[in-house]
Structure 1
């Protein structure tokens, strides 16, 4: 049975994270994975090239040797295993899974806060502290998105949860209640 790329990404990312924790190298591995992600963004299609069965092995080996030259230890070994099993095209999913587990380990939640106008630095910091506390984390990192349609208030999306405190939502709820009252009369 062939596994889908998301399952593969989760399994490999989880395995690397657990090993990095065991060896007390989670921070170093994370930093190296960030540089690896940058390379993948700078060279789109690199994973596909390294996983392409139509290329000669020596051609892929040349590229792979250049890629792993700047890595050592756990990340280098990890890359060699991923390459050996022709999964280099799933590497970004593996990095995402590692990062998710790394952030969770550090009690950091990532998300967005949508507002009608940009938050000040102080408001943004206060929002991050409030969200972290509400959701049981030590820290939150929220990206401020601007959406004039929410009119006012905030919409927070983090950890697969949505907290909608927008005026738009409140107006919509009032409209729904008024429509219910009209239909009852």
Structure 2
């Protein structure tokens, strides 16, 4: 059975994460993962190029060596393994899965907060702190979104949870109760 890109990303990320913890390189490997993310975002054809069968293995190896020269030995070996198993096209999935594991370990979550008007920094910080405390997290990074259609209040979306405290949601609930 062939694994999908998401499953490949999960497996490789878990292996790298466990190895980084074991070798006590947790933070430095995270920094290198972020550098890799930048490289792959800036060069979206890099992964497919490194798995392209029309390119000679020697040329791909030279490209990989150039790509990994500034990384730690552990990361170089990991990327060599990913390359040897012809999984470089899945690197964005591996990177994303590693970031998820890192965030979970550090107690970091991301949230989208929708409001009818722009929120100031103090309001965003208060929402972040309140949600972090409620969920037992160390940090919540908020992405503010303005949507006048919610009329007032906020809608917070994070980790597959939606907390809808908007006026529109309240009015919709009242309307459905009245129509029963």
Which TM-score applies when normalising by structure 1?
0.93
1:157 and 2:170 are equivalent in the alignment: no
Q: SS of 1:70's equivalent? A: coil
Secondary structure of 1:117's partner? coil
C-alpha separation in 1, matches of 2:111 and 2:27: 21
Q: Which runs of 5+ in 1 are unaligned?
A: 181-185
Counterpart CA distance in 2 for 1:145 and 1:76 is 39
Of residues 50-59 and 122-131 in structure 1, the stretch that sits farther from structure 2 once superposed is 50-59
| Distance in 2 separating the partners of 1:114 and 1:156 | 6
Number of residue equivalences: 180
Following TM superposition, the consecutive aligned residue runs of length 4 or more in structure 1 with deviations greater than 3 angstroms are none
Counterpart CA distance in 2 for 1:92 and 1:56 is: 23
- CA RMSD for the aligned pairs? 1.0
Shift of 1:148: 1.5
Who is 1:107 aligned against?
A: 107
Residue 28 (structure 1) shift: 0.6
How far residue 127 of structure 1 moved from its aligned partner, in angstroms, is: 0.4
> Once the 2 structures are TM-superposed, how far is the Cα of residue 139 of structure 1 from its aligned partner?
1.5
Partner Cα separation in structure 2 for residue 27 and residue 66 of structure 1: 23
Looking at structure 2, the residues matched to 39 and 48 of structure 1 have their Cα atoms a distance apart, in angstroms, of 14
Between 1:131-140 and 1:156-165, the stretch displaced more is: 131-140
What's the CA shift for 1:138? 2.0
Partner of 2:4: 4
Is the deviation greater in 138-147 or in 119-128? 138-147
